[in-house]
Structure 1
Amino acid sequence: MIRLKHVRFLAVVFCFVAITGCAVKPDNVTPAGSVCVEQPLFIDNGTYKIPAILVKPTQATGKPFPVVVMLHGTASQKNEVGGLYQRLAVALAEAGIGSVRIDFAGTGDSPVDYRFYNLTSAQRDVVSTLDYLTTLQDIDAQRIGLIGFSQGGLIAQLVATKDARIKSLVAWSSVSGNGTGVFQSFFDDYYAEAKANGFAVVKFPWRPEPLNFGLQWFEEVKANSSLQDLKNYHGKLLAIAGTADTLVPYESSINIINHAGTTNAELHLIKGADHMFNVLGSANANGLAEDQSTAETVLSITTYWIDKNL
């Protein structure tokens, strides 16, 4: 049974986020007209370095600004598909909100193989990032949020239920559930290989190189209890999903809302949106779709909600 207080079924609306761009910070000079500054980082988690991009708004308020940590999905990277996280970072900066987006182990600019990636390592990456952020004087450590896309949403849930620093949680097309759940077909195809070899070689149509899924990832997903543990999350919560998502059906986002311990939860179901919010020409395409209205709607909803709830 759905017990939601705030459920919105949305047709695609033309609600565009103004994107003016960030400056890359090689020194202490910020070009005129930039709404934000991007600072490339490598954050040490004790085992390897986490590639990250910290985005700070340039508008001066004299007060520390809130910050959102962005967690990408499977076989993606810190900017996310169609540059969605990069675009969101600029939109948030325009609202005076900072952000940091990271590469999990084995993706993007990560210096290690994907065999290092599992639910434990991913959570450690996020906590290491949070630890770093709380050392920065211009960031408000009492206003930190998480956003997770797909499997990144699962990692966000795992962290948010344990780390009191997280005040707001956003889940895009997010995985939810205990045990294998939506990963069952993935287990059917690759678990035996991982048990035999210690990892499974998995190819994705949008990546030139395969990823090596370690056996630990499979075992931790099997033992995962994130859905039942969501009762421990009492912060603010937003979930967005598409009704045409065939990879992670939108019912997964309903489960997140229904199991969370918070009373401040909001769900947006976007009619006709696929797993990636129609940002690509097709699910296997590398180029952007000509029509970005669905993706821009997601960016607008997310930016507005974070601005009001962080």
Structure 2
Amino acid sequence: MERAITIQYGSIELKATLHYPEAAKTNEGDQGGQCPLIVICHGFVGNRIGVDRLFVGAARKFAAAGYMTLRFDYAGCGESTGDYGEGGLDSMIEQTRVVLDYALDIDYVDLNRVSLLGHSLGGAVALLTAAQDRRVKQLLLWSAVAHPFNDIVRIVGQNTYDDAIRYGSADYMGYSLRPAFFESLSAHQPFAQLRKFAGDVFLAHGTSDRVVPADYCSLYQKLFWMRSFGQCDMELLFQADHTFSSGESKRELYDKTLHWLTYNEKRKREWHNWEI
């Protein structure tokens, strides 16, 4: 079952879609068993549908596998109100935490199995959120941005950035980008913050990504492995592009992500039994 919802963030309405797992009992007063949660964070000037319905397919796949899944539009994107980029990355982190507040208030969500899934710039936002919010237990990072300022300026072009600084705003695909947005990008360094997250991480990146370098994936893994706690596994998808646009790339991405989630839960159970 899928349900359109609205999550309030100050005066801004964040539009979202909640996917209930097939095994969940959703009748009023019947809480059913606890289930894991995945919250999907879309990328730069994206939306909760995703390019070529990337996030729709993912959410339905996860729900069919027993995961409560929530995908939402950041302010100024998709159907949400507000202006994109206002408040910068700090606002996006706050929005993600407000969405977590909503999702974790659902009675049958397992608070010990909470994952953030972030794609592209959403990957950086998911990581930065997890570094601040201990409610996040796992990270699923698809084609994640590693250097927010450099990566976004490369995407929008140097002229767009120069116009924003010179004139106070610049148009990019109909979005008005202001200097404060770019300043917030330079203020956040995911590589420097990832040590604050002690949970497990799954990384996926396409080898044919022309938007965010695939080399970031191995760099992320090396740095995650330098932490005192937490596992990190990586999958490089051969010939997949930035948005995993082909049917084969999507199927492989969904299957490998779900396989990791299942494998990681088994690994934790075995480790817990070994400790006992």
Is TM-score (shorter-chain normalized) higher than 0.5?
Answer: yes
Q: Tell me which amino acid in the other structure corresponds to 1:98.
A: M
Deviation at 1:103, TM superposition (A): 0.2
Task: Name the counterpart of 2:150.
Answer: 181
Task: Name the counterpart of 1:267.
Answer: 234
Task: Name the counterpart of 1:152.
Answer: 122
Aligned pairs for 1:25-174 (under 5 A) are: 37-60=1-24, 62-116=32-86, 118-174=88-144
Task: Name the counterpart of 2:198.
Answer: 234
Q: Which structure: greater helix fraction?
A: 2
Q: Tell me which amino acid in the other structure corresponds to 2:256.
A: I
Separation of aligned partners in 1, 2:93 and 2:149: 18
With CA pairs under 8 Å and 6+ residues apart, which has the higher RCO, 1 or 2? 1
2:165 counterpart of 1:195? yes
Separation of aligned partners in 1, 2:164 and 2:79: 24
User: Runs (4+) of structure 1 moved beyond 3 Å?
Assistant: 307-310
TM-score, with structure 2 as normaliser: 0.87
Q: Tell me which amino acid in the other structure corresponds to 2:84.
A: Y
Task: Name the counterpart of 1:217.
Answer: 181
How many equivalent residue pairs?
A: 255
Deviation at 1:299, TM superposition (A): 0.9
Deviation at 1:115, TM superposition (A): 4.4
Separation of aligned partners in 2, 1:225 and 1:167: 20
Deviation at 1:300, TM superposition (A): 0.8
Task: Name the counterpart of 1:295.
Answer: 250
The answer (yes or no) to whether the contact 1:200–1:213 under 8 Å persists in 2 is: yes
Q: Tell me which amino acid in the other structure corresponds to 2:131.
A: T
Gaps of 5+ in 1: 1-36, 204-209, 280-291
SS of the residue corresponding to residue 129 of structure 2 reads: helix
Deviation at 1:57, TM superposition (A): 1.1
SS of the residue corresponding to residue 158 of structure 1 reads: helix
Change (3 A) 1:53 1:60: closer
Separation of aligned partners in 2, 1:77 and 1:273: 20
SS of the residue corresponding to residue 141 of structure 2 reads: strand
